[in-house]
């Protein structure tokens, strides 16, 4: 009976074009992954001293999984991003879940951008705090919510939004947070490595480190690795070690990840990010050749609005046949009516790749 009920729900997904499945596409032109700098292809766990390291952490950080290597890596990350401390989690999802679920208490208030990542919404839901959304990137609406919020106030935004690719007006958000004595939390998942003189992210690029309470930097995007760090003050770090369940009860990352992270952070200042932003500019120049509507974005994430799930999947599948991998994004990840082809640009893409992509999008519409 249970399997029948589950299958009925799956059939409903299939009928409405919302069914998800796992696929492997290793031989296609990549306009899909978050590997914006191509680091996943160049990083190695080998270190210069050829020091032996064990494969597994053998336990959580509070049991047997802590090490000088882990603590050294956290301090390197904190220093790089201009904050006092950092705490590494096994993924961006667990970092957001771990932070939001334990930070605000009953009677406090979370106010999050309506387009915020699911991990932040899930973390807020697990807390006992009040929860509200403000209209996307709308500082006026944010202020309205802050004016009536109770208890300690926490505002949570992304610096670059994962689906639309647009940038949060951080300076304006900082100003309104200061006005209402709210604590600002910024998820820099899709800005890490790409913005700022050394790839520190948008918060550091705007010298806002002292005005943002906590910042989440994810390693699974431009750094091409795995895990994430909450960068904050020492008090918050110690609080999370004591109260963040995803941190307390998870086996720590393997030591090889810390070595790779240190190598990635050493490489970031050497990256010529202008190459990527030149490609973004070139791609946007080609948009006039398509009949679809594109979401306004200056970042590496570009969205082509298709308007329904069926056509989004059809376009994605058509491009696969032409050797191009760009992912269809449908409800509930995005709102009904805003189904899209999400196009991610990378330093390893070429203008020839982009020309082919635009040409095949046009061919699909004919």
Residue 237 and residue 214 in contact, taking contact as beta carbons nearer than 8 Å: no
Give just the sign of the alpha carbon dihedral 165, 310, 18, 135.
positive
Q: What is the largest CA-CA distance in the chain?
A: 61
Instruction: Tell me, yes or no, if the two domains 24-40+272-365 and 68-269 fold the same way.
Output: no
Give the pLDDT of the chain (366 residues) as one tens digit per residue: 888 998 999 899 888 888 887 777 778 899 889 899 999 887 754 444 445 567 888 899 999 999 999 999 999 999 999 999 999 999 999 999 999 999 999 999 999 999 999 999 999 999 999 999 999 999 999 999 999 999 999 999 999 999 999 999 999 999 999 999 999 999 999 999 999 999 999 999 999 999 999 999 999 999 999 999 999 999 999 999 999 999 999 999 999 999 999 999 999 999 999 999 999 999 999 987 777 789 999 999 999 999 889 999 999 999 999 999 999 999 888 988 899 999 999 999 999 999 999 999 999 876
Residues in contact with 171: Cβ distance below 8 Å, sequence separation at least 6, in sequence order? 206, 208
- Residue 228 pairs in a beta bridge with 89, 218
Give residue 50's pLDDT: 47
Q: What is the 8-class DSSP label of residue 252?
A: P
Which residue from 276, 263, 328, 228 is spatially nearest to 36, judged by alpha carbons? 276
- Dist CA 57 CA 40 (whole Å): 22
Domain 24-40+272-365, CATH class in plain words: alpha beta
Give residue 292's pLDDT: 77
**Global pTM value:** 0.92
Give residue 288's pLDDT: 78
The distance from CA 335 to its chain's CA centroid, rounded to whole angstroms, is 19
Residues in contact with 323: Cβ distance below 8 Å, sequence separation at least 6, in sequence order? 27, 28, 29
Residue 104 and residue 129 in contact, taking contact as beta carbons nearer than 8 Å: yes
Give residue 44's pLDDT: 57
Give residue 344's pLDDT: 97
Residue 289: helix, strand or coil by DSSP?
A: helix
Domain ranges of the chain: 24-40+272-365, 68-269
Give residue 52's pLDDT: 58
Token pair belonging to 215? 């910042």
Give residue 47's pLDDT: 46
Residue 314: helix, strand or coil by DSSP?
A: helix
Give residue 55's pLDDT: 80
Give residue 48's pLDDT: 43
Residue 327: helix, strand or coil by DSSP?
A: strand
Give residue 14's pLDDT: 86
Give residue 366's pLDDT: 65
> At which residue do the structure tokens 């069914």 appear?
19
- Please tell me the total number of residues recorded for the chain in this structure: 366
- Dist CA 133 CA 343 (whole Å): 27
The HSE-up count of residue 261 (CA atoms within 13 Å, CB side) is 29
- Dist CA 139 CA 128 (whole Å): 25
68-269 carries CATH number 3.40.640.10: yes
């Amino acid at each position: 009976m249970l399997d029948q009920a589950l299958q009925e729900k799956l059939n409903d997904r299939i009928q409405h074009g919302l069914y998800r499945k796992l696929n492997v596409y290793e031989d296609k032109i990549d306009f899909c992954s978050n590997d914006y700098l191509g680091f996943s292809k160049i990083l190695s766990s080998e270190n210069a001293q050829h020091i032996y390291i064990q494969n597994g952490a053998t336990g959580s950080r509070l049991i047997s999984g802590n090490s000088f290597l882990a603590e050294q890596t956290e301090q390197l990350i904190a220093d790089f991003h201009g904050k006092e401390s950092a705490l590494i989690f096994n993924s961006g999802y667990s970092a957001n879940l771990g932070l939001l679920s334990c930070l605000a208490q009953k009677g406090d208030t979370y106010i999050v951008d309506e387009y915020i990542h699911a991990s932040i919404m899930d973390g807020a839901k697990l807390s006992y705090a009040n929860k509200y959304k403000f209209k996307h990137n709308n500082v006026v609406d944010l202020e309205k919510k802050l004016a009536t919020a109770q208890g300690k106030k926490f505002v949570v935004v992304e610096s670059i939004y994962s689906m639309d690719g647009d940038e949060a007006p951080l300076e304006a958000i900082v100003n309104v947070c200061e006005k209402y004595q709210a604590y600002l939390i910024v998820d820099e998942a899709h800005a890490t490595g790409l913005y700022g003189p050394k790839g520190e992210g948008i918060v550091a690029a705007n010298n806002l480190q002292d005005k943002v309470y906590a910042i989440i930097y994810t390693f699974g995007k431009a750094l091409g690795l795995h895990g994430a760090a909450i960068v904050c003050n020492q008090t918050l770090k110690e609080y999370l070690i004591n109260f963040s369940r995803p941190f307390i009860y998870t086996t720590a990352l393997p030591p090889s990840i810390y070595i790779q992270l240190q190598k990635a952070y050493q490489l970031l200042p050497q990256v010529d990010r202008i190459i990527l932003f030149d490609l973004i500019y070139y791609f946007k120049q080609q948009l006039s050749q398509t009949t679809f509507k594109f979401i306004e974005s200056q970042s590496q994430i570009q969205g082509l609005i298709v308007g329904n799930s069926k056509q989004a999947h059809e376009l994605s599948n058509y491009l696969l046949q032409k050797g191009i991998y760009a992912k269809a994004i449908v409800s509930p990840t995005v709102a009904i009516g805003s189904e899209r082809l999400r196009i991610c640009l990378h330093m390893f893409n070429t203008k020839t790749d982009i020309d082919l992509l635009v040409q095949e999008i046009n061919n699909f519409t004919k």
